[in-house]
Structure 1
Amino acid sequence: MKKLLNLSIFIFLSLSLICQTIDPNGYNIFYHANGVKSSEGYLKDGKPDAYWKSYNENGVLVSEGNRKDGLLDGEWKFYNSEGELYMSLNYKNDKKDGIKTTFKPNGDRILESFIDDLKQGNEKHFDKDNHLIKEIPFVDGVEEGIAKEYDSEGTIISILEYKRGYILRREHINRKDQSGFKQGLWKIFYANDILKEEGFYLNDKKDGFFKYYDEEGNLISLEKYNNGEIVEGVEETRVLETRVDYYKNGRQKVIQTYYQGKPHGVRREYSPKGEVIESYLFYEGELLGIGIIDLDGKKQGPWKELYKRNVLKAEGNYVDSRPVGKWKYYLPNGQLEIEGTYDNQGRRVGEWFWYYENSKPLREANYELGKLEGEFVEYDEDGNVLSKGVYQDNEQEGNWTEVHGDFVEEGKYFEGLRNGAWKGTYKNGNKSYETTFNDDNPDGSYKSYWFNGKLKESGRYILGRKHGVWQYFDESGEMFLRVTYRKGVEISYDSTKIIPELPETLED
């Protein structure tokens, strides 16, 4: 066990060391060949006991901790060649038991919990400002359950489901684009992780149905939004007054409903023959739309939808309240925001375009029967590509390029999952990482790099689990930690550069 862990108090002895007498039941100091102290502590019956310290050949403290009856016991601390703490770890009866903390060179840290040598509970990752950025549940040494990733504001941005160490599901939520606009699916949770609210955003505006739940997970309300504006659909809760004007022949000319004295709901205007010739949609006095609403309450023909104060919001045609043909959507400042085409079932088809407030392109996408199909590209406000690839049946497929902050990722998708070789490149041209994926799980050799091109970490995955020896390096390229894994379970820690092995004479 001691050789395997390499995390005890290591006493380096060799034929080249300065001759010294070992007291098997007392305090001892050992030295490197250059005369510098290598370790110090007590022996009891020839075995390390009580508090021990080890030093590198430059005299820098590299490890310290306690032993009880020769076994690792209590907190152990490990330092790099500069004397900086990089890991603390708790032991009980020679087994990991309690909290392990790893300190990264960039200020990040990782907290893990062990019981009887097995990782249990949530592994937590914090950035240098102490923000929780990731937590992964472990059961008996392997990932099991729901993992979460967070942004610096504490908002969940990814949910991953693990089963016996393998990723079953990955969901990206609560994302913002380069302009800070909310896009796609957003979910809010109670403190007990029960879903509280969910719905979709389009360019920072609620779009579609939003669902709200109580703390037991029961659906309690439902709202529909169109481009940021709530669509009122519970009119039976309001007491409305209906006013009717008539032609001289007795036919209805205008029908308008009011709420608290203000136009509210549908206003219909009729021809002398009784046909609907124009309709207006009001909400508490504000005009929201102009078009035809037939006697069945369905929108028909050309329509204009409005922001407050009669500012054009959208224009296009309806058939039985389904958008059809060419539609255009506008920002409150009048700039074109989105344009595209619907088929006769109200599904997006063909090319669709999104624009920034300065009219520069934001996104170009292709649809077929309402699903993403074909080329897709997204830009920042300077016209640089942020994401580019192909969709097939609403899933990412084939070669993709994606920009994430200061680096670019390139690789292939198959049915929406990363597969095959992937690599990341910093904007200065240096590599960020390189590996292969199998159904969204890293599989095979993995290497990541610092911005300056120096190796950051290297190792190997087997279907999403770290396996074998992993090495970790600081920004200068110096290795500060080596960890051995067996299918995701840590087996040993070994910083060979600074920690010598326990001599055979003291291992028995």
Structure 2
Amino acid sequence: MKLSSIHIVIIVFSCFCMSCNRPSKDENGILLFENLESRTDTHWTAGHSSFWFPTQKRTGPYMYLGDEKYSGPIVKYHPNGKLEFKGTYDYGFKSNEWSYYDAEGNLFSVEEYGDFGTLHDKKVFFPDGELKLKLIQNRSNDTLYFIERYADGSLKYMHHFHSLENDIERYKRLNEKGEIYEFFNEDSIYYKLDPETLEPIKSGTFMNGRRVGSWLSYFDNGLLMESKNYQDGELHGDYKSYHYNGSINRYGTYIGGDKTGEWIEKYDDGTTKIIANFKRNKLEGQYKEFHENGALKSLKEYYADQRIGTWKTFYDDGTLIRETNYD
């Protein structure tokens, strides 16, 4: 039986459409990443408080090939034809080893994935192939170990922390000479130095992961910038801050994390700027401000951070500007 021209056109068009719907692959028969689509699934479940009620939840994202979560190998190429990355998906999640390359074809990162797309290990490389960064996650005790190196292979940064709580247990940073300029241990001293000069920037002590005792911070000229005290992780005791020239800037007292009693602030020449009173971290009582010549600038009164009483404002020669009553 002879086919009409219409039949021939229909057959050709059908074959063309079938080839268009076919996912594209590379010369090795591996699926190209461009065929996949990222989607988040939505489903209904039962929530509970005092009553059962339907709750909408989202999971994912997953990588889909058509209407199915994709499982199998995948590749992607740079515009110049060089391999960009290769890896494997398992039911829409990254799985096993993934390798990433720059546009010149150099390997710069390798990642290892476990169940449900969980990242276990990661390595990043310098262009010459030397290890730059390494991440090791131990799922058995929920800890993570991370190191980074300089181009010559020397250690740059190392830390170790509990991944579930995201609490760092210990870490250290080193300059290119191999000198430690920052060190932390949850049950030890903490210090931070200038990486070049090794001049102090900050120091203190941790106990059970909480700040305790005296903590000091410094300006880049080596002079003290701030002195504060902690008790079980809360500010407690005397507090002092300083101007860049070394003179006192502000001082007062904390109790259980709250500003308490009289706090004084000064200009950098030592002249008093503010005298304030606090109770449980709120302004309470008389509040005075002064001009740089020492003359009274304003006189105010607070109760639990609220304005009360008569407020007065003065020029630097003592002349009254305004008077306002808040009772």
Q: Distance in 2 between matches of 1:318 and 1:350?
A: 15
Could you report, residue by residue, the CA deviation over 1:370-404 in whole angstroms, capped at 9, with x for unpaired residues?
A: 22222111111222222112112322112111236
Corresponding residue SS for 2:188: strand
Q: State the Cα distance separating 1:311 from its structure 2 match.
A: 5.9
Q: Give the match for residue 359 of structure 1.
A: 198
Alignment of 1:299-448 (within 5 A): 304-307=147-150, 310=153, 312-315=155-158, 327-330=171-174, 336-341=180-185, 348-356=186-194, 357-403=196-242, 408-448=249-289
Q: Which of 85, 99, 117 is the aligned partner of 1:258?
A: 99
Q: Give the match for residue 505 of structure 1.
A: none
Q: Give the match for residue 92 of structure 2.
A: none
Q: Distance in 1 between matches of 2:254 and 2:99?
A: 54
Q: State the Cα distance separating 1:478 from its structure 2 match.
A: 2.7
Q: Give the match for residue 86 of structure 2.
A: 240
Pair 484,355 (structure 1): closer, same or farther in 2 beyond 3 Å = same
Q: Give the match for residue 132 of structure 2.
A: 288
Q: Which of 470, 495, 498 is the aligned partner of 2:311?
A: 470
Q: Give the match for residue 458 of structure 1.
A: 299
Q: Distance in 1 between matches of 2:143 and 2:288?
A: 57
Q: Which stretches in structure 1 are left out of the alignment for 5+ residues?
A: 1-220, 222-235, 243-254, 268-278, 342-347, 487-508
Whose helix fraction is larger, Structure 1's or Structure 2's?
2
Q: Distance in 1 between matches of 2:265 and 2:139?
A: 58
Pair 297,422 (structure 1): closer, same or farther in 2 beyond 3 Å = closer
Alignment of 1:12-411 (within 5 A): 239-240=85-86, 258-260=99-101, 261-263=105-107, 264-265=109-110, 281-282=123-124, 287-289=131-133, 304-307=147-150, 310=153, 312-315=155-158, 327-330=171-174, 336-341=180-185, 348-356=186-194, 357-403=196-242, 408-411=249-252
Q: State the Cα distance separating 1:476 from its structure 2 match.
A: 3.2
Corresponding residue SS for 2:322: strand
Does the CA-based 8 Å contact 2:85-2:98 persist in structure 1? no
AA of the residue aligned to 1:338? E
Could you report, residue by residue, the CA deviation over 1:187-207 in whole angstroms, capped at 9, with x for unpaired residues?
A: xxxxxxxxxxxxxxxxxxxxx
Corresponding residue SS for 1:349: coil
Q: State the Cα distance separating 1:363 from its structure 2 match.
A: 0.7
Q: State the Cα distance separating 1:333 from its structure 2 match.
A: 8.1
Q: State the Cα distance separating 1:457 from its structure 2 match.
A: 0.8
Q: Distance in 1 between matches of 2:323 and 2:219?
A: 40
Q: Which moved more, 1:447-456 or 1:328-337?
A: 328-337
Q: State the Cα distance separating 1:353 from its structure 2 match.
A: 0.1
Q: Distance in 1 between matches of 2:269 and 2:253?
A: 23
Does the CA-based 8 Å contact 1:291-1:299 persist in structure 2? no
Could you report, residue by residue, the CA deviation over 1:382-440 in whole angstroms, capped at 9, with x for unpaired residues?
A: 22222112112322112111236786111111222211111122232211111210122
Pair 475,300 (structure 1): closer, same or farther in 2 beyond 3 Å = closer
Percent of pairs identical after alignment? 20
AA of the residue aligned to 1:329? R
AA of the residue aligned to 2:249? V
Q: Distance in 2 between matches of 1:294 and 1:429?
A: 55
Q: Distance in 1 between matches of 2:251 and 2:98?
A: 57
Does the CA-based 8 Å contact 2:126-2:132 persist in structure 1? no
AA of the residue aligned to 2:230? Y
Q: Which stretches in structure 2 are left out of the alignment for 5+ residues?
A: 1-60, 62-74, 77-83, 89-95, 113-120
Q: State the Cα distance separating 1:319 from its structure 2 match.
A: 9.2
Q: Distance in 2 between matches of 1:381 and 1:282?
A: 33
